[in-house]
Structure 1
């Protein structure tokens, strides 16, 4: 007997109550097969037949085998709805309001006992759901859990537009529950393998807004959904059923975005949003799926504090920018002859930029009295001489960028030997891809596999990059971010047999840090110092370290994106490896590109090798 039914059945034995209706097995099976019942149970077909629920918490189910049997769970729920009202807030009608409402509608249950659900009623009244907004905090490379971005739902009340009360709304978020302080490597591993439980949480939206746009300096995109008040309420009812219920959390598939798609399918049965993501659910892809389903009415953009600072500093000349930086460090410069010599309109811009810079620096830090005093003085000056309203250029919408999986088909010549090149990248963007909708100077690739077929039908694995991350945000007078990169996997390098067209496959981890600078609009340069660890069968040592450099140019032009790069690795055993490369992507459509690349490699172990390739890239998922 299901353990969770025992309290209700014990009370039923002592009190005269209306019994649950006896349904034919065929009727129970038909109801349990309905998409809505499967959705609120989070059921999905099991690999070996039958069903399994994504919910990993036994307290969510009333039947002992409810995790695998939608029929038994439905029958157990129906029986529990007729338990004694004296159970109060622990009654099934109070614990499962979404199930209750649906079964009442389907079976015309007019004889259910009347139960006062005080806790649920108070909670629901406080949220007062009327409409919903899908919120996308943009990708943030410096946080392992946020490299692909994130999604959450904002639950609005009826007066959100008339009274501008969005900050009083609630944010519905699904995320990994982390106890303790796991390091980044352990965090990534446990996230990939489902080592963290995932929980839904409702928190004030202003807290999430502060966390993403202020603490992490991430742009926010708000997609107003066209859900009706009834659909929004139905979704919130189910959120109550998931209170403190645990799921397994996986970064790539059963993540924040996938769980929210499940909720939207409950709000609007038949939407079938999760069907589009059999392998993984990247937030931008899920936003695109919601948009393609016709569920978005309006899109709003909230720039980060960093974007606002850069936009305010944009009209300043070099001297004014330097003055703003000094002013942020010393508010006494407000009375200096240098500052007062500026026209009033320029003073307004400079002091506002200084104030924004000071507040940006304070992000995530404890309150500092000296900083607070300078902020106050700058704010007083701004009130006396206010600047014009800030206009932040709206970037490309993330969901309008190219799709995340890339098929690659290329042909080329390496030192006079022709080859075909076939590749698949699981996710999701490099510096030469179409940059519309993606963060500036950002590269994030996972599972990049390339196989080559040389003349004579000779096949070889060319490379398998498990991860490749590059962050090339340009430095400026106001902000000086660090550019960095890290790559790990297997690749072909010049070796002892390269003269016979047989390069060596090595395992490697390499990374570097340095700076990137904007030269003109669309053109930037970068220079990084690098370190590398390699396992190479041509070397005597099992593990060979190297130091080196990586520098180049990135140019956004009318045809697409161009890169010119030079790099070198200097190994402890005397091996020196250098590389010059060129790449130009021609953007045919959003999801189709043609890339021309050329490369010249140098090594002490082999003579110089030249390679040229033309590659067709199809972005698809």
Structure 2
């Protein structure tokens, strides 16, 4: 609003260039053009009309521009003829993408020629020529990163030939956070739209360091076949979005959705955002970009953590202990015992020790002693270099199953048969089809299960708001915590032998260990808070455990799990369960499950079920 008033005030006292007359038919034709709709980030309203995703009034030149693309177009044309005394605030300088398109479409003549010094220098520094979509893979130990992320890298003309990608710029869209909200508050506000979202153009090296080092996330680089002209057009629009606020939601109006909008600006006619009416999970948007024929090549960059673990794979337990000793004290390099090792084994140990030292330094302020240790290790590497590390490329993340799951099951609870119908909005559990997902990762959001018992008796069996588990194995070098958190509604054994629907929140932490190549064992201590109508108290706390095995086998994933909750009011609830999924195809799975549940309130109950899972967006 202030921007509009500023240049209108100047217009009142300065001679204006004459804006052309546009007849209403031509005006409506341009206002409905897909490119103009993309520039305004408009979507068709549910009850007709338009609304813009932009939540910032200063983006619009017309008072009702957020809902009327035609009014915004008319206001933009008029504004292009504003006096040059506005300098870098001239609408031609603020809206370069709009200006270029309207000049071409309307063959505008007699436009005042604004200098646009700030924009021209910025555009020259960026020097856009080609575009690469970057996908930092999901990192479960960070709630903000549990679905992965996407951003765009803008390369100069000589990047590929000179291999200077680190000098490129990155376009990123993310939540703007003031202060230091904790992870739980961050996740909640992100789900509820409690943060504004902003675009930013930053040096790619900064983002690369952040994702590969600080968050230990693998990076996938998808080079797009956008032409230099399409890339420049998109970057011009990014300038228009500088410090412009959008609403931000984790599941739909997020980083990936906004970048799809930018690609539609780059290449008008692409239909990318229309594929995501409810959710826009990053892996799904990567698939959409790939299926649209935009990807010409893919490059993989492993995280520092993956590089360290891959280097350590070649070391036996005794050699891994040497890695810890050498990393902590470089004088061990001169010890007779170490020097007695074969030279090739010494090289591997020293290289792993250096990687461990750099990994531990991630996110920490520079420390003189740490820098000295790294220097000594580097000098030792130069004297006895290890073979070049070749990290095996994992499955492409977009090759995993689709994010939404429909479930149809049939089973028996003691002697009573039932059918079960389920829908999960997102997007993977421990037993789901495994390609593209790490073993031990689970992220379930908004899952509903309904049961139909004999006699046409229906009931809500389960409603998960969130159910997240991170079972990352510990080893001699790295000792990450495993954790889980969940909440919602579920059926538990009741006092009269029936099932009671309770509200609960639970969480836990512990450890996971690699027992074999594709076998994990885990043990977690847990806490639970439950509202149960069978209990006297409004809410009742419980402490417990959750332990089991997870095996990725030739046909799918198998889990064997035991858990218990010991309530403060004396109730004890325990269960043991077995689940095996057969991967029929990428988006189809068949699961058999068996469970025996115990409670002080009721006799033990046995349940078996056969379930078909269809992964579908």
- With normalisation by structure 2, the TM-score equals 0.98
CA distance in 1, matches of 2:269, 2:423: 32
List runs of 5+ in structure 2 lacking aligned partners. Answer: none
Does the CA-based 8 Å contact 1:579-1:602 persist in structure 2? Answer: yes
Tell me what 1:598 maps to. Answer: 594
CA distance in 2, matches of 1:585, 1:18: 71
Displacement of 1:516 after TM fit? 0.8
Q: Deviations over 1:266-325 (max 9, x none)?
A: 001111100011111111111111011110111111111100000111111111111111
SS of the residue corresponding to residue 597 of structure 1 reads: strand
- Greater shift in the superposed pair: 15-24 or 331-340: 15-24
SS of the residue corresponding to residue 555 of structure 1 reads: strand
Tell me what 1:482 maps to. Answer: 481
Q: 1:585 aligned to 581, 587, 590, which one?
A: 581
Displacement of 1:6 after TM fit? 5.2
Does the CA-based 8 Å contact 1:475-1:517 persist in structure 2? Answer: yes
Tell me what 1:167 maps to. Answer: 166
- Greater shift in the superposed pair: 8-17 or 322-331: 8-17
SS of the residue corresponding to residue 216 of structure 2 reads: coil
- Greater shift in the superposed pair: 427-436 or 567-576: 567-576
Q: Deviations over 1:320-351 (max 9, x none)?
A: 11111111111111011221111111100001
CA distance in 1, matches of 2:202, 2:338: 44
Displacement of 1:187 after TM fit? 2.1
CA distance in 2, matches of 1:356, 1:16: 66
Tell me what 2:48 maps to. Answer: 49
Q: Does 1:563 align with 2:559?
A: yes
CA distance in 1, matches of 2:430, 2:439: 9
Displacement of 1:495 after TM fit? 1.4
Tell me what 1:361 maps to. Answer: 360
Displacement of 1:560 after TM fit? 0.5
Does the CA-based 8 Å contact 2:405-2:425 persist in structure 1? Answer: yes
CA distance in 1, matches of 2:195, 2:357: 37
Tell me what 2:243 maps to. Answer: 244
Displacement of 1:47 after TM fit? 2.5
CA distance in 2, matches of 1:366, 1:38: 46
CA distance in 1, matches of 2:459, 2:12: 73
Displacement of 1:11 after TM fit? 5.0
How does 1:441-590 map onto structure 2 within 5 Å? 441-498=440-497, 502-590=498-586
Does the CA-based 8 Å contact 1:5-1:80 persist in structure 2? Answer: no
CA distance in 1, matches of 2:25, 2:560: 67
SS of the residue corresponding to residue 58 of structure 2 reads: helix
Tell me what 1:439 maps to. Answer: 438
Q: Deviations over 1:365-403 (max 9, x none)?
A: 122322222211111100000000001111111111011
Tell me what 1:421 maps to. Answer: 420
| Alignment size in residue pairs | 617
Displacement of 1:109 after TM fit? 1.4
CA distance in 2, matches of 1:602, 1:8: 74
CA distance in 2, matches of 1:420, 1:230: 56
How does 1:27-426 map onto structure 2 within 5 Å? 27-426=26-425
Does the CA-based 8 Å contact 1:139-1:439 persist in structure 2? Answer: no
Displacement of 1:84 after TM fit? 2.0
CA distance in 2, matches of 1:308, 1:52: 46
Does the CA-based 8 Å contact 1:3-1:64 persist in structure 2? Answer: no
CA distance in 2, matches of 1:298, 1:440: 27
SS of the residue corresponding to residue 474 of structure 2 reads: coil
CA distance in 2, matches of 1:486, 1:155: 38
Structure 1 residues 478 and 25: CA distance shift in structure 2, 3 A: same
Displacement of 1:407 after TM fit? 0.3
CA distance in 2, matches of 1:228, 1:522: 44
CA distance in 2, matches of 1:612, 1:480: 36
Structure 1 residues 573 and 122: CA distance shift in structure 2, 3 A: same
Displacement of 1:9 after TM fit? 5.2
Displacement of 1:364 after TM fit? 1.2
SS of the residue corresponding to residue 162 of structure 1 reads: helix
SS of the residue corresponding to residue 161 of structure 2 reads: coil
